[in-house]
Amino acid sequence: MKRSFQVSFKIKEGKVEDFIKASLENKSNSTKEKGNLRFDLLQDLKDEHSFVLYELYDNEDSMKAHMQTNHFKKWFESTREFIEEQSMKYWKYLE
């Protein structure tokens, strides 16, 4: 069963470009993973500090494996200092 997660971020002043650069690098690597079906990075049109990350995987195991990759760990560690607020939701993909 397909699984996804969505993370909403509020990025600190002066860190938006750094967050985008790191996140796009992570996206580039993540979309090459077996089981990754979608990876979207969205920036709010009215608030440049607000982002949503949406990822879709073919199953829960693929989603969990993604979080163990070196590129995810690098992204996670490198962006932690940029994040002011964060919330995460896991979703079941309905077809």
Report the 3 state secondary structure along the chain. CCEEEEEEEEECCCCHHHHHHHHHHHHHHHCCCCCEEEEEEEECCCCCCEEEEEEEECCHHHHHHHCCCHHHHHHHHHHHHHEEEEEEEEEECCC
- Checking if the pLDDT of 95 tops 90, the result is no
Q: What is the pTM of this model?
A: 0.92
Q: What is the mean pLDDT of the chain?
A: 96
The confidence score (pLDDT) of residue 86 equals 97
